[in-house]
């Protein structure tokens, strides 16, 4: 939809309804009228018909005259229809009746609707700038409130009625107010801000999908940072994303300001209208609250905070009911936003091996570009002392060179798989095979253009470092086993592995492995005991347990006599049965 198409649709409808019962009753309304007054590009067309069930009947009338592409989609509850004209087959047109709304349940956003006049329809709208009507038949703009055109000229945000009543009826209008204020770069009056603060808690009654739609529009707008700041000021974040409030209290590492300030600057630095990328910019530091560990002098530190980002990000996105692929994309961006932290201010320390490793993790060039865009925005959001202005461009330049020479590792696969590795090394499936694959991938990061034969030779010269590999031989173990004294502990404090000459990460891994083994043994023992108890219970129902004090030989002779009697009785039964049948 463009402004030119909008004007052509208006002219087409004017000719179409001339001399019919619809003449003088069809209006364009809302965003198209607002954007036309502002001189902005028009993106959609909404029609209002001031007749009872006018939206549905007008759409049906167009269908019966064979002017639409399909039968109109009708929503009877609100008297709304959606259709497309054959003359403009690529543009949706929503047609509604003018209506009045009455909210009887204070805990619900679903009002009672009925046909209403133009005035009723006008005063139920969220903002004055959205309450303009254009009379198609008479070619004139209608400003029923008398304030809409003035507010547009003065760049003023206001509501058609009392703001408390407006926001109390539909709290989503708070989000819409913030969205229009940031999109148009207008200021919100103090009385409107106070009304939004008073009614922000009522967003609890709104479905998450409606709030998410408005929130996404704000994120994709030209000033997402200001939108988030306004949401924080009026209390919307307390309902929508309370986890973000923690960032407001965390100081930045090595520069003045808070993590929240840095997040907003990063978000404003993303120019691409990609919702996953902008969501990643908003949530990339969500691992810092859990990793905050100040030094002895009180300086803030957030060691490896990117490793703790997944849980809070997933919690936020699940609450907003995003689908799994989107959540995985955002988590990936947040987990890897520190991948280039050691590559130099202008990318002078870029290692081809590390860059190929990052390419391999990204899988596709599009995801790689998105990640570097995020990293570049983060670099520019820091103060001058910590900023890395040339790093992003240098990374992208080297990536293009690798793609040109064919050494990039997007969707890379080794020249052979696990079966060939086991045949060459004469080993079974297990950690040794994983060790070999890890070694081959490290060699591929150095030079992925090696031939199959070269990789096979590297593999033959390699010795796995995890226990028993080749049949009948033992490879040296990389680390000593964890002492039993540490095994029962559920966690591992920093530095606990130094006493035994192993890294902390290894201590944690061995601890978890031993705990899993013990849990498995305990579960198997419990299952065996349970199975035995069930058998005893079942046997006890058939016969009572007897405690025999007889000698072993007497008991054995008694059992033999029982068996003989049992066999004789089985042989007699058929004969007795036959004689009984003859008598009968």
Higher pLDDT, 474 or 354: 354
Is 70 exceeded by the pLDDT of residue 253? yes
What is the length of the chain? 584
Please state the rounded mean pLDDT for residues 218-234.
95
pTM: predicted TM-score of the whole model, two decimal places: 0.75
- Residue where one domain finishes, among candidates 100, 128, 161: 161
The continuous run of DSSP H or E covering 519 comes out as helix 504-542
- Phi, psi dihedral angles at 545 (to 5 degrees): -70, 135
DSSP helix/strand/coil, 282 = helix
Q: What is the pLDDT of residue 438?
A: 92
Domain assignment of residue 549, yes or no: no
Is 60 exceeded by the pLDDT of residue 545? no
Distance between terminal CA atoms of the chain?
97
- The band of 383, judged by pLDDT with boundaries at 50, 70 and 90, is confident
Please state the rounded mean pLDDT for residues 317-346.
94
Q: What is the pLDDT of residues 110-147, one digit of tens each?
A: 677 788 899 999 999 999 999 999 999 999 999 999 99
Quote the CA–CA distance of 247 and 193 in Å, as a whole number. 23
- Residue where one domain finishes, among candidates 161, 184, 218: 161
Is 50 exceeded by the pLDDT of residue 472? no
Q: What is the pLDDT of residue 515?
A: 79
Q: How many CB atoms lie within 10 A of CB 300?
A: 15
Q: Are residues 451 and 433 in the same domain?
A: yes
Average pLDDT, the chain: 85
Q: What is the pLDDT of residue 530?
A: 80
Q: Are residues 146 and 101 in the same domain?
A: yes
Quote the CA–CA distance of 126 and 164 in Å, as a whole number. 11
Is 50 exceeded by the pLDDT of residue 471? no
Is 70 exceeded by the pLDDT of residue 501? no
Return the ∠ at Cα 388 (arms to 386 and 389), rounded to 5°.
130
Domain assignment of residue 295, yes or no: no
Please state the rounded mean pLDDT for residues 482-505.
46
Is 60 exceeded by the pLDDT of residue 524? yes
- The band of 551, judged by pLDDT with boundaries at 50, 70 and 90, is low
Domain assignment of residue 104, yes or no: yes
Tokens of 407: 């050494």
Higher pLDDT, 106 or 361: 361
| Enclosing domain of residue 525 | 487-529
Q: Are residues 79 and 115 in the same domain?
A: yes
Q: What percent of the chain has pLDDT over 70?
A: 84
Q: Are residues 423 and 523 in the same domain?
A: no
Among the residue ranges 177-191, 355-369, 470-484, the one predicted with the least confidence is: 470-484
Is 70 exceeded by the pLDDT of residue 106? no
Q: What is the pLDDT of residue 525?
A: 82
Q: Are residues 424 and 497 in the same domain?
A: no
Alpha-carbon distance values, 183 to 37, 200, 222, 447 (Å): 15, 20, 6, 49
Higher pLDDT, 246 or 495: 246
Please state the rounded mean pLDDT for residues 542-562.
60
The continuous run of DSSP H or E covering 54 comes out as helix 54-64
Q: Are residues 522 and 424 in the same domain?
A: no
Question: What is the total count of domains within the chain?
Answer: 3
Is 60 exceeded by the pLDDT of residue 378? yes
Q: Are residues 23 and 124 in the same domain?
A: yes
Is 70 exceeded by the pLDDT of residue 401? yes
Give the side-chain half-sphere CA count within 13 A for 110: 3
Please state the rounded mean pLDDT for residues 151-165.
92
Q: Are residues 156 and 65 in the same domain?
A: yes
Q: What is the pLDDT of residue 281?
A: 96
- Phi, psi dihedral angles at 26 (to 5 degrees): -115, 130
Q: Are residues 116 and 75 in the same domain?
A: yes
Do 409 and 444 meet the contact criterion of CB atoms below 8 Å apart?
A: yes
Domain assignment of residue 213, yes or no: no
Quote the CA–CA distance of 151 and 129 in Å, as a whole number. 7
Q: Are residues 31 and 113 in the same domain?
A: yes
- Residue where one domain finishes, among candidates 161, 180, 211: 161
Q: Are residues 22 and 94 in the same domain?
A: yes
Looking at residue 101, which CATH number applies to its domain? 3.30.460.10
Do 496 and 452 meet the contact criterion of CB atoms below 8 Å apart?
A: no
Is 60 exceeded by the pLDDT of residue 240? yes
Higher pLDDT, 101 or 446: 446
Domain assignment of residue 75, yes or no: yes
Q: What is the pLDDT of residue 506?
A: 65
Do 411 and 299 meet the contact criterion of CB atoms below 8 Å apart?
A: no
Quote the CA–CA distance of 109 and 137 in Å, as a whole number. 34
Q: What is the pLDDT of residues 1-19, one digit of tens each?
A: 899 999 999 999 999 999 9
Among the residue ranges 59-73, 81-95, 110-124, 344-358, the one predicted with the least confidence is: 110-124
Tokens of 73: 């989609």
Domain assignment of residue 201, yes or no: no
Alpha-carbon distance values, 159 to 124, 180, 202, 218, 580 (Å): 10, 12, 18, 20, 102
Q: What is the pLDDT of residue 540?
A: 58
Higher pLDDT, 493 or 93: 93
Q: What is the pLDDT of residue 100?
A: 85
**Region label for 66, one of left (φ > 0), alpha (ψ between -120 and 50) or beta (otherwise):** left
- Phi, psi dihedral angles at 470 (to 5 degrees): -65, 145
Q: What is the pLDDT of residue 552?
A: 63
Domain assignment of residue 506, yes or no: yes
Is 80 exceeded by the pLDDT of residue 470? no
Q: What is the pLDDT of residue 101?
A: 76
Q: Are residues 106 and 15 in the same domain?
A: yes
Domain assignment of residue 337, yes or no: no
Higher pLDDT, 193 or 471: 193
Among the residue ranges 149-163, 327-341, 391-405, 519-533, the one predicted with the least confidence is: 519-533
Is 90 exceeded by the pLDDT of residue 499? no
Is 70 exceeded by the pLDDT of residue 549? no
Quote the CA–CA distance of 83 and 498 in Å, as a whole number. 71
């Amino acid at each position: 939809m463009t402004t030119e198409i909008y004007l052509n649709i208006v002219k087409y409808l004017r000719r179409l309804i001339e001399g019919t019962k619809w003449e003088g009753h069809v209006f364009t309304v809302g965003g198209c009228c607002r954007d036309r007054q502002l001189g902005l590009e028009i993106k959609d067309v909404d029609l209002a018909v001031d007749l009872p069930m006018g939206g549905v009947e007008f759409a049906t009338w167009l269908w019966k005259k064979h002017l639409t592409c399909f039968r109109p989609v009708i929503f009877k509850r609100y008297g709304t229809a959606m259709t497309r004209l054959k003359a403009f087959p690529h543009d949706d047109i929503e047609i509604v009746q003018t209506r009045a709304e009455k909210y009887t349940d204070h805990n619900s956003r679903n009002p009672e609707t009925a046909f209403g006049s133009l005035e009723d329809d006008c005063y139920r709208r969220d903002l004055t700038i959205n309450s303009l009507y254009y009379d198609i038949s008479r070619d004139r703009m209608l400003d029923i409130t008398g304030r809409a055109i003035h507010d547009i000229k003065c760049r003023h945000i206001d509501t058609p009625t009392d703001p408390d009543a407006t926001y109390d009826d539909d709290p989503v209008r708070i989000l819409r107010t913030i969205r229009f204020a940031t999109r148009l770069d207008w200021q919100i009056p103090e009385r409107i801000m106070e009304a939004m603060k008073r009614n922000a808690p009522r967003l609890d009654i709104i479905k998450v999908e409606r709030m998410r739609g408005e929130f996404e529009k704000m994120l994709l707008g030209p000033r997402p940072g200001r939108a988030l700041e306004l949401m924080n000021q009026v209390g919307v974040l307390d309902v929508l994303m309370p986890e973000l409030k923690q960032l407001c209290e965390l100081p930045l590492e090595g520069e003045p300001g808070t993590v929240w300030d840095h997040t907003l600057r990063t978000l404003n630095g993303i120019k691409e209208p990609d919702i996953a990328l902008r969501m990643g910019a908003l949530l990339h530091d969500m691992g810092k609250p859990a990793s905050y560990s100040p030094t002895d002098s009180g300086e803030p530190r957030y060691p490896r905070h990117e490793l703790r980002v997944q849980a809070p990000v997933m919690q936020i996105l699940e609450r907003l009911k995003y689908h799994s692929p989107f959540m995985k994309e955002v988590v990936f961006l947040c987990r890897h936003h520190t991948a280039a932290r050691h590559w130099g201010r202008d990318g002078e320390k870029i290692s081809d091996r590390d860059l190929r490793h990052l390419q391999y993790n990204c899988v596709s060039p599009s995801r790689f570009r998105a990640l570097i865009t995020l990293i570049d925005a983060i670099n520019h959001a820091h103060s001058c002392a910590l900023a890395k202005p040339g790093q992003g461009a240098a990374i992208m330049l080297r990536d293009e060179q690798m793609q040109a020479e064919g050494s990039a590792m997007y969707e890379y696969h080794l020249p052979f798989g696990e079966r060939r590795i086991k045949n060459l090394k004469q080993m079974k499936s297990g950690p040794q095979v994983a060790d070999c694959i890890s070694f081959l991938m490290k060699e591929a990061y150095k030079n992925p253009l090696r031939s199959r034969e070269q990789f096979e030779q590297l593999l033959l010269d390699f010795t796995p470092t995890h226990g028993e590999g080749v049949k009948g031989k033992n490879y040296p173990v990389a680390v000593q086993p964890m002492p039993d004294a540490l095994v029962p502990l559920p966690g591992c404090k920093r530095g606990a592995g130094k006493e035994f000459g192993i890294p902390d990460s290894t201590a944690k891994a061995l601890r978890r492995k031993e705990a899993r083994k013990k849990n498995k043994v305990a579960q198997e023992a419990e299952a065996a005991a349970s199975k035995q108890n069930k058998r005893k219970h079942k046997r006890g129902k058939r016969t009572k347990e007897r405690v025999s004090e007889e000698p072993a030989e007497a008991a054995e002779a008694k059992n033999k006599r029982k068996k003989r009697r049992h066999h004789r009785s089985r042989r007699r039964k058929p004969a007795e049965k036959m004689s009984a049948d003859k008598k009968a």
